[in-house]
Amino acid sequence: MSSSMQRKRIRKSPSDRRAEIVDAAATIALTEGLESITLRRIGDRLDVRPGLISHYFPAVEDLVAEAFGAAASAELDTLLPADPAAGTPTERLARFFALATGPAYDDISRLWINARHLSRYRPVLRGRVNHQEALWRGRLEDLVRDGVLLGEFRTADAHVATIQILVVIDGLGAHANTATADRPEAVTRMAVSTAERELGLAGGTLTELAEGLDTGRPTAAVSGAEDAPAGSGA
């Protein structure tokens, strides 16, 4: 083929192009904040005209909500896989706390803070935040119910226990923008301790179990008893 022949441009399908736009927006949301998502910013990142972005998302608010939803859903699927074959309920819960601690999830914690703040003024985003919070509660409550059914957990009310755990996680995650190095260990372990207490597990069970699990993440990201868990959806 002659080197002077113009290379044929490959058109992406509408679904692929839309997914590419959402992925780019989610990356910007995690690294720079939801306020940084604009049609021009996404167009520059993908090397396309802003008009192409507006073809898929006429209102930037829809793209902001979609970006948050994509990032939050990816977090949920990583921390709490829906597949019950991923281990026993206790192992899955230990893996959750191992993955949801440390600097690896600081960005997603900040994103939750960012989204909850902006959702006061942006109804589309508020709807997506509420939806993601419901998904979080449902996924964790299903895990707790599985544990109760199998005799691994003991709780009088799986729904209440789930909310108590998530409230503590959110409380710790709310400090993702501030220094936490001077926190006492009893504070940094509050989410894990709450889970063990509310589910009838001996103290230290989840931390000890997490040390023997292959989480698929670097050790520094999961060594976690000293770090606060990522934000979630209480």
Give start and end residues of each alpha helix (H) in the chain: 14-32, 39-46, 50-56, 60-79, 89-99, 106-118, 123-149, 158-173, 185-188, 190-198, 205-211, 219-222
Least trusted range by pLDDT, from 169-173, 190-194, 211-215, 227-231: 227-231
- Token pair belonging to 90: 């206790």
Confidence of residue 185 (pLDDT cuts 50, 70, 90): confident
The model's pLDDT over 41-53, given as tens digits with 9 standing for 90+, comes to 999 999 999 999 9
Cα 1 → chain centroid: 48
Averaged pLDDT score across all residues of the chain: 84
pLDDT at 4: 43
Q: What is the mean pLDDT of residues 59-85?
A: 91
Q: Is the pLDDT score of 107 beyond 70?
A: yes
- Within 10 angstroms of residue 215's Cβ, the number of other Cβ atoms is 17
Distance separating alpha carbons of residues 120 and 140, to the nearest angstrom: 26
Single pTM value for the model = 0.82
Handedness of CA 141, 218, 176, 59 (dihedral sign): negative
Q: What is the mean pLDDT of residues 218-230?
A: 40
Output b/e per residue, 84-115; b: 16+ Cβ within 10 A: eeeeebbbbbbbbbbbbbbebbbebbbbbbbb
Higher pLDDT, 33 or 178: 33
Q: What is the mean pLDDT of residues 144-166?
A: 96
pLDDT at 221: 32
pLDDT at 220: 33
pLDDT at 7: 43
Least trusted range by pLDDT, from 81-85, 126-130, 191-195, 225-229: 225-229
Share of the chain above pLDDT 70, in %: 81
